[in-house]
Each structure stands twice: as C-alpha cells, then as structure tokens.
A and B are shown apart, each in its own frame.
Chain A
Amino acid sequence: AQTVTQSQPEMSVQEAETVTLSCTYDTSESDYYLFWYKQPPSRQMILVIRQEAYKQQNATENRFSVNFQKAAKSFSLKISDSQLGDAAMYFCAYRSGATNKLIFGTGTLLAVQP
C-alpha cells in the first residue's frame, strides 16, 4: 500500500524568506501524481502544485516550486518570498495512476513571522 510521510509537524519562516517542506512517499508504482494542498484557517483545501511522476522537470507555480526526487521518493515544497497569507497547514498527497483516490500525509503547519 502507498504511504505518504511528512516528518515536520510544524515549521516557521520569516516573512520574505524561503522555506522548504518535506514529503516522502512509498510506492511500487511507476505511474502516479503528487500534490501539495494548502489548508488555511478557513479549512478550505486549496491546490498549490502538482507533479506528474513521468516528468523529470520540477513543477513551479509562481513562488511555489517542488524538488521531485523520484529515485529517493521525495517531493519537497519550496516557498520563496514567504508571505503572511502563506500561513496554513500544508498536505502532501499521492495519487496512483490506476486509481483516483488521494492519499494524504499528516500535514505540516507553517507559521509565517512578520
């Protein structure tokens, strides 16, 4: 069975600085997708970024980028120029290419200090 591990329950970053959130996963599949979702205090789940396993190039969305290391089964999220609005719980998620269910990690609570 696939698993997703986020080993950092909490992280803190100064406004305008860069922070990296870690995520590792375990799978024997070759076709899969990885996601980072953000959950602010409103509890809404917001898609931040996605990565297809077959793509070698790391995904980037504005200030958010990933470091996808397929052999190491690692999928970290880098947030550059952190803003107060980035404060939230961040969830890493895995989706098999064969099924559609998302498997989530336990989340990392990010605090942004002014």
Chain B
Amino acid sequence: DSGVTQTPKHLITATGQRVTLRCSPRSGDLSVYWYQQSLDQGLQFLIQYYNGEERAKGNILERFSAQQFPDLHSELNLSSLELGDSALYFCASSAREGAITDTQYFGPGTRLTVL
C-alpha cells in the first residue's frame, strides 16, 4: 500500500458525459501528479500540482482539467468523454517537506470505461 488513495476504482460512463476522479496523496506529500495509461499511448504524464498550484502540464487535453484543494487532495475532471478516453488514470504523490528525494508513489488507479 503506497498510501495514495484514489476513488472510484472503476467508472463506466457514456460518450459525452463528464466524470471526476479523486486522489488523496500520502500524508505530508505536497505534490500530486496525474498519469493516463492506455493501450495505444502507454503511460503519459498529464499534469502536476504542488501545494495547490499547477506546476507542470503534459499531454492533457483541453477537455480535461484538474485542481488541488487546500487539504491537498486533487481532482481530475474529464468532460465531453470520447471512446478514446477509456484508460487507467493514476495519481501519484511526492515531496514531503524537507525530503531530499522526490520519488513518486502511485495510487491504485481509476479504471475509466467510456461506452
């Protein structure tokens, strides 16, 4: 158990819909990262937040957005869903205050299926 929690574990929805994925980082971690794992794209970095502020953006679609709240949990919002958005979405966390290393620890993922 990495200490990172993600809900829900599975999500099945229809094209055109909007969903929200939730992530709680490890205790004390200030950074949250979102990754997408799909068959055709592999594992791709989407976005990073640090202590509530956006720090880095990767291959994140405009239909996707994220935020990190004052309690440090993060949400990834996916809208106007398409079949190709079906994937496993991981959240990872890192950067405890004062930590020398910055290893990312992954949550169990949310499996999104768009029908």
A interface, how many residues as a size bin?
Answer: 20 to 34
Interchain nearest-CB distance for B115 vs A (Å): 20
Q: Which of B2, B94, B108 contacts A100 (CB 8 A)?
A: B94
Q: Which of B43, B48, B103, B111 contacts A47 (CB 8 A)?
A: B103
Q: Which of B2, B31, B109 contacts A43 (CB 8 A)?
A: B109
- Against A, the Cβ 8 Å flags (1 = close, 0 = not) of B10-54 are 000000000000000000000101010000001111001000000
Are A43 and B108 touching (Cβ within 8 A)? Answer: yes
Give CA–CA (A32, B50) in the complex, Å. Answer: 20
- Residues from chain B with Cβ under 8 Å of A109 in the complex: none
Are B42 and A101 touching (Cβ within 8 A)? Answer: no
Partner-A contacts on B (CB < 8 A):
2, 31, 33, 35, 42-45, 48, 55-56, 58, 88, 90, 92, 94-95, 101-106, 108-109, 111
Partner-B contacts on A (CB < 8 A):
33, 35, 37, 42-47, 50, 91, 95, 99-104, 106-107
